Amino acid sequence: MKKTLLCILCLSGIFAGAQELDCTDFANGTFLVHTRGAAPVTWRLVREGNYQTGYKEKISGDEQGTTDPKIEFSKIEWINDCTFRLTYDESKSELTAVQKYINQINGILMEVIKIEGNSFTYKSTMTVNGKEVVREGKMYKQ
């Protein structure tokens, strides 16, 4: 009985000492995010404090001829360690009509909802024409 109890205490000490990531571990760094939909794209996001630069890594066949930007510059307004508001930075590049609209509706609210290893699941929320639009996705820290 004493040996079993000792083993349990030792194992719980090992697991308690394991490093668990929290939201602050995802405030800075380089991330990959794969978008879904009619024209899926992989973005490499470089986040530094209150700024994020997005680079399109893979462009599907139909999107090759579009005029969408290949690099996007964003501003981040941190609400708490796990939540921020993202808007596009008009001082660094000319915005598309969609980017201007997103800025007009107060940006995109992003919230980390689950952390697994070096990735996190996020929920993005926008209010479009009075209706809340919610999407979930996953980002991977490189």
Spell out the SS3 assignment of 34-68: ECCCCCCEEEEEEEECCEEEEEEEEECHHHCCCCC
Assess contact for 74 and 93: CB atoms under 8 A. Answer: no
Q: Tell me the C-alpha to C-alpha distance, in Å, between residue 124 and each of 42, 66, 127.
A: 17, 24, 10
Is residue 14 assigned to a domain? no
Is residue 11 assigned to a domain? no
Distance (Å, whole) CA 13 – CA 51: 38
Overall number of domains in the chain: 1
Assess contact for 28 and 45: CB atoms under 8 A. Answer: no
Provide the residue type at 131 as one letter: K
pTM, two decimal places: 0.77
Looking at residue 132, its pLDDT comes to 96
Is residue 16 assigned to a domain? no
pLDDT-derived band at 10, boundaries 50, 70, 90: very low
pLDDT-wise least confident of 68-72, 94-98, 131-135: 68-72
- Mean pLDDT, all residues of the chain: 84
Is residue 85 assigned to a domain? yes
Domain that holds residue 62: 21-141
Q: Which two tokens stand for residue 97?
A: 């009509």
Could you read off the pLDDT of 71-105 as tens digits, one per residue? 999 999 999 999 999 999 999 999 999 999 999 99
Is residue 27 assigned to a domain? yes
pLDDT-wise least confident of 55-64, 121-130, 133-142: 55-64
Is residue 74 assigned to a domain? yes
Is residue 10 assigned to a domain? no
Is residue 1 assigned to a domain? no
Looking at residue 14, its pLDDT comes to 40
Provide the residue type at 10 as one letter: C
Looking at residue 17, its pLDDT comes to 42
Residue 136's CATH number: 2.40.128
Looking at residue 35, its pLDDT comes to 85
Pairing of β 119-128 and β 108-116: antiparallel
